[in-house]
Amino acid sequence: MSDYDFDLITIGAGSGGVAASRRATVHGARVAICEGDRVGGTCVIRGCVPKKLLMYASQFADAFADAPGFGWEIVPPSFDLAALTAAKNRETARLETIYRKMLADAKVTLLEGQARLVDAHTVEVGGRRVSAGHILIATGGTPSAPAIDGLELAISSNELLDLTELPRRLLVLGAGYIAVEFAGIFAGFGSEVIQAYRADLPLRGFDDDIRTRLATAMSERGVALRPGFAPVKLERSANGIRCTAKNGEVIEADVVLSALGRRPNTDGLGLTEVGVELDAKSGAIRVSPDSRTTVDSIYAVGDVTDRAALTPVAIAEGRAFADTVFGNTPRVVDHRLIATAVFSQPSIGTIGLSEPDAIAAGHQVTVFEADFRPMKHTLAGRTERAYMKVIVDTASDKVLGAHLIGADSGEIIQALAIAITMGATKADLDRTLAVHPTSAEELVLLRTARGA
């Protein structure tokens, strides 16, 4: 019998922490998990899930606008944000109950309260000290707060999800996932939305053809984009909140969303005091490929490591940790090929290398692309287009990356990711029979290379 209270103590009951803890119990480990907030973490409570529910709600605006083209007569609709927020809260409460039940069914002990490391094997939570042979940090991320004068006047996505009154004017600061998603959502609800960011296009790091088309589509949907806007000051004005840029440009709004990135949630954990090394720039926990920190008994997974801030990645890392440490099956997560979706409007799906990254990596590439107006938009009279791009290594014919923008891109990229992860070639796509009529069939009908 171990001298410790548990075999594993996990700090953070989000997706990664819960997945790791449950998997560890399958291998026979005695596990406790600490949580100072709601069980379920960012994704379930204040991130992916509630955000997508709001995205679905905002898309009804498109359905109402398009309906007459399909023969439906629609009475002018109205929108109640308070009713939506209440429905969202009921759903997240339901999901939290499920997460608590999953932990209980797995015989994971839930310790509620803020946790802090005492030493390499001891955690203090709620005034109680408990010990374990291994400790896992899975505390996720939290909204960043850059040094901008008056930024406290802005809200983060956490508070935006709980609004009950629709802002007439919403200013979104930032150009990442959260920024483009909430800009589209609130434009769909009927707010006047301005999205301001330092770069020339949204979604830095994505393929440029996708970024350009997203900017065009968002503008056509009524989101006013302000590239090159570097905020330096927020202040109250007679008309709401005034945001001033470095170049003197001023934007006024009723609500300002600060979507200027997220940072690893490491404050107050006592990490450095027990020898866990943090990245000097990002504050992330430094880990080896198997998620071990600079202290042998302490591991970390998920957003707190700043490897790939995506829920499925955190889950995979957590399970790999448990299999390695408690299941006698050493394995690591390959972060080189990760499919992801952005629930912008229109949505984006992507996996693998962008065209510039493929070229920078030394590949000679052949690019296949399709740019078309989806069938659904024809009767509605909507001008929005879909675009699909497949990047192929010319020498080997292997698919290096795929990038989509258009309705259901997130759903499509999940299926395509299986093939690409298995090493699919362009010839494999070519010999796949199309499902007609669908947008996804364009991916297997690409025959002419760009420039040919």
Residue type, 390: V
User: Is residue 121 annotated as part of the catalytic site, yes or no?
Assistant: no
Is 137 labeled as ligand-binding?
Answer: no
Using only C-alpha atoms, what is the Rg of the chain? 24
Is 176 labeled as ligand-binding?
Answer: yes
Is 14 within 8 Å of 43 (Cβ atoms)? yes
Is 156 within 8 Å of 262 (Cβ atoms)? no
Report the candidate in 115, 158, 118, 119 with the shortest Cα–Cα distance to residue 137.
115
DSSP strand pairing (255-258 vs 169-173): parallel
Is 107 labeled as ligand-binding?
Answer: no
Is 273 labeled as ligand-binding?
Answer: no
Q: Is the peptide bond before 227 cis (omega within 30 degrees of 0)?
A: no
Is 44 labeled as ligand-binding?
Answer: no
Is 303 labeled as ligand-binding?
Answer: yes
Which among 27, 377, 403, 436 is annotated as catalytic? 436
What is the rounded CA–CA span in Å between residue 299 and residue 136? Answer: 5
Phi and psi at residue 283, to the nearest 5°: 80, 5
Report the candidate in 105, 118, 95, 106 with the shortest Cα–Cα distance to residue 14.
95
What is the rounded CA–CA span in Å between residue 249 and residue 224? Answer: 14
- Helix, strand, or coil (residue 416): helix
- Helix, strand, or coil (residue 96): helix
What is the rounded CA–CA span in Å between residue 394 and residue 362? Answer: 11
Is 228 labeled as ligand-binding?
Answer: no
Q: Which residues are annotated as a binding site?
A: 52, 174-181, 261, 303
Q: Which residues are annotated as a binding site for NAD(+)?
A: 174-181, 261
Q: Which residues are annotated as a binding site for FAD?
A: 52, 303
Q: Known catalytic residues?
A: 436
